[in-house]
Amino acid sequence: MTDQPDVYPVPSEWAQRARMNAHGYETARTSARETPEAFWSEQARRLDWMTAPTRIKDVSFDKADFRIRWFEDGVLNVAWNCLDRHLETRGDETAIIWEGDDPDQSGRLSYRELHREVCRMANVLKGQGVAKGDRVTIYLPMIPAAAVAMLACARIGAVHSVVFGGFSPDSLAGRIEDCGSKVVITADEGRRGGKRVPLKANVDAALEKAAGAIVETVLIVSHTNADIPIVEGRDVRYGEAKHGVSDDCPCEPMNAEDPLFILYTSGSTGKPKGVLHTTGGYLFWAAWTHELVFDYRPGEVFWCTADVGWVTGHSYCVYGPLANGATTLMFEGVPNWPDHSRFWRIIDKHQVEIFYTAPTALRALMREGDGPVKATSRASLRLLGSVGEPINPEAWRWYHEVVGEGRCPIVDTWWQTETGGVLVSPLPGATHLKPGSATKPLPGVELELVDADGMVLEGAVSGNLVITDSWPGQMRTVWGDHQRFFDTYFSAYPGKYFTGDGCRRDEDGYYWITGRVDDVINVSGHRMGTAEVESALVLHEAVAEAAVVGFPHEIKGQGIYAYVTLNVGVEPTEALRKDLIAQVRREIGPIAAPDVIQWAPGLPKTRSGKIMRRILRKIAENEVGALGDTSTLADPAVVDDLVRNRAAGR
């Protein structure tokens, strides 16, 4: 495309009317930097505290006295903040709009109704012996019960661990065991794109596998009314259990630093880690960023398309919007079913003002042309958002021009499971937009770019993205492994939090995230550790060794490219390839299925036996002319073979 502007200035009506304009942004940035205690103490008043905090920030990223504490002596309850405090002012307003997978199914819950549901579920959990600090695994479809379950846990001080419904029984088993959940909340089935997802059956399979699990109760919400087997003494049908329980349940007073939830995410090594977020700092960050970044105004309908199984769903389907008394839309289905207009039809049906989705969905829809978008009105839209991976300028412009008809600013929000909420994003009334750039850090977020040795890089430059000071929404530990928390994030560059992302800063001080620099790949906005996929592959009896890397994928952003060495005497066949893909789906889930499997008689290794992933990445990217230094390879012939057979392997 030619004649496309590189910069989209803040529209004047936004500069005048938005919650934060350019001047407000600069003032807030300066205050957060120069008088952090006063700044955050003032901002934290947006929450309703049982005891207001007086100790605001106590942080050190140094090894000797490593600690991250915010609002330490404050006492509050998350469910109170998301529900009870709204009852008087907006009890009858809609809290959740639910849109089913089936376009004929939808519903609404007012704040009063949601409050009642949450109290009931909280009392049912208590009746099952769940107490403050206990862990509860939630494995539900995108139905209001998912939000109800999260808030019911928060109400009684239980720590939830939501597991995405697309994860396999094996993945679920690992997560249940790791955090020692007493209770699993699930549904008979979920629905996605016209298909059924056997959630309860997956829980049964998971609990058969999870030898170390201490689950006493499986609470089953009925959704499709499918026929499911019941394990006596363990399974409880929620529909029956909730009869006869009171809809009055007092909120447990929680310390700001008490755990709120655990959410598992992939890293460059080992099993997924349980990211732990706490009560005060997390809720504050989710609520504050929801209002600021999306310029949320009372009465508006806010739709974040993420599943609650991911952090985006936690912060921007549930906690941020509800803490702000917003109307949040939960969608059970997928963007391309029953047709490619589904998103846009939902926007019209429920008069959505703010829409937040992932680049991968936009790229998939863009491929279908403008027709399915133009068949709808979208007149209600005011602001668009993007999250999960870098958005390519072409997709950005399509989003801006076709979906938003040039009228809606786009907030490209960079953040991570670890950060709790958005850290880098335009503010629609303050920041000129550049397609493909997440632009600038929010007030209170201090970024640096460093080189591999930790040297701080100044000016317009590329480097590794680090954060030099804490923000309230920062994760506090890896569940059960505090040392791993420190080692993963604070050991690469002492005194700084390392994001794992590469980034470029331009001459205007804008940040352009270039993607992960570690062994994490981002497939359709979902994080996947290459080591996890490799472990799943080598479990197969035919496989001797496997190495997995990412490669650029037109729709998914990155695809999964697996090099597989078979055991001696095993013939590579099409059936085996399918079998290996099925194996990964079974072990992890469909999102981890390799896009390409290349048979590799050998893998490029250093003389000390380390796999040279840099070379494998180049081959996968088809940049075989740029393999770089191969002189340290134990056997250079291995590379020639991989290059020669590359095309054949795809």
Angle ∠(220,222,228) on CA atoms, nearest 5:
70
Work out whether the CA dihedral 255, 304, 276, 260 comes out positive or negative: positive
Q: Does 412 bind ligand PRX (CB under 6 A)?
A: yes
**Sequence-distant contacts of 565-571: CB under 8 A, at least 24 apart:** 565/599, 565/600, 565/601, 565/602, 565/603, 566/542, 566/599, 567/541, 567/542, 567/543, 568/544, 570/542
Quick one: which H or E segment has residue 311?
helix 311-313
User: Minimum distance between the CB of residue 310 and ligand PRX, rounded to whole angstroms?
Assistant: 6
Flag whether 324 is marked binding: no
For residues 394-421, one letter each, b for 16 or more C-beta atoms within 10 angstroms of the residue's C-beta and e for the rest, the string is ebbbbbbebbbeeebbbbbbbbbbbbbb
Say if residues 255 and 230 touch (Cβ distance below 8 Å): no
In the complex with ligand PRX, the residue whose CB is nearer, 181 or 386, is 386
Buried b (16+ CB within 10 A) or exposed e, 205-226: bbbeebeebebebbbbbbbbee
Assigned token pair, 186? 């699930």
Stretch that binds ligand PRX, among 6-14, 116-124, 235-243, 497-505 (CB under 6 A): 497-505
Pick between residue 300 and residue 389 the one whose CB is nearest to ligand PRX: 389
**Nearer to ligand PRX by C-beta: 203 or 410?**
410
Judged by CB under 6 A, the residue of 500, 550, 604, 649 near ligand PRX is 500
Burial of 231 (0-12, 13-18, 19+ CB in 10 A): exposed
Kindly report the backbone phi and psi dihedral angles of residue 381, in degrees, each rounded to the nearest multiple of 5, phi listed first.
Answer: -65, 140
314: tokens are: 């936690």
184 is in an annotated binding site: no
* Residue 513 contacts ligand PRX per CB under 6 A: yes
- Please select the residue that binds ligand PRX; options are 400, 527, 540, 553, rule is CB under 6 A: 527
Point out which span in 89-97, 217-225, 398-406, 509-517 binds ligand PRX (CB under 6 A): 509-517
Of 221, 213, 209, which is closest to residue 135 (Cα–Cα)? 213
Smallest separation (angstroms) from ligand PRX to the CB of 320: 12
Query: Contact at 8 Å (CB) between 601 and 641?
Result: yes
**Is 194 annotated in some ligand binding site?**
yes
CB atoms within 10 A of CB 254: 26
Site string for ligand PRX, 299-338 (x = CB under 6 A): ------------xx--------------------------
438 counts as binding ligand PRX under rule CB under 6 A: yes
- 415 labeled binding residue: yes
Scanning 135-143, 162-170, 513-521, 585-593 for contacts with ligand PRX by CB under 6 A, the matching segment is: 513-521
Size of the site for ligand PRX (CB under 6 A): 22
Q: Which is nearer to ligand PRX, 413 or 474 (by Cβ)?
A: 413
- Selection from 387, 388, 389, 383 nearest residue 403 by Cα: 383
How many residues are given for the chain? Answer: 650
Residue type, 52: A
Smallest distance from the beta carbon of 585 to ligand PRX, in angstroms? Answer: 20
> C-beta of 418: minimal distance to ligand PRX in Å?
7
CA distance 538 to 78: 43
328 annotated to bind ligand: no
Residue 171 found at the interface with ligand PRX (CB under 6 A)? no
**Segment near ligand PRX (CB under 6 A), from 26-34, 43-51, 388-396, 620-628?**
388-396
Q: List, in order, residues 6 or more apart from 27 with CB less than 8 Å away.
A: none
Q: How far is CA 36 from CA 43, 256, 261, 321, 502, in A?
A: 10, 18, 26, 25, 28
In the complex, minimum distance from the CB of residue 10 to ligand PRX, in angstroms, rounded to a whole number: 19
Q: Is 527 annotated as a binding residue?
A: yes
Binding to ligand PRX (CB under 6 A): which residues in 220-279? Answer: 265
Cβ closest to ligand PRX, residue 157 vs residue 385: 385
Helix (H) or strand (E) segment spanning residue 321: helix 320-323
Asked if 526 contacts 541 with a C-beta cutoff of 8 angstroms, the reply is no
Select the residue interacting with ligand PRX from 414, 510, 561, 599 (CB under 6 A): 414
Q: Check binding of 474 to ligand PRX (CB under 6 A).
A: no
Say whether residue 415 binds ligand PRX (CB under 6 A). yes
Please report how close the Cβ of residue 413 comes to ligand PRX at its closest, in angstroms: 5
Chain centroid, CA 226 distance in Å? 29
Task: Identify which of residues 493 and 563 has a Cβ nearer to ligand PRX in the complex.
Answer: 493
Q: How far is the CB of 318 from ligand PRX (least distance, A)?
A: 14
The interface region with ligand PRX, picked from 93-101, 396-404, 415-423, 533-541 by CB under 6 A, is: 415-423
The token duo for 87 is 């009852």
413: contact with ligand PRX by CB under 6 A: yes
Where on the chain is the footprint of ligand PRX (CB under 6 A)?
A: 265, 311-312, 387-390, 412-417, 438, 499-501, 513, 515-516, 522, 527
Give binding residues for CoA as ranges. 192-195, 312, 336, 524, 585
Give binding residues as ranges. 192-195, 312, 336, 388-390, 412-417, 501, 516, 524, 527, 538, 540, 543, 585
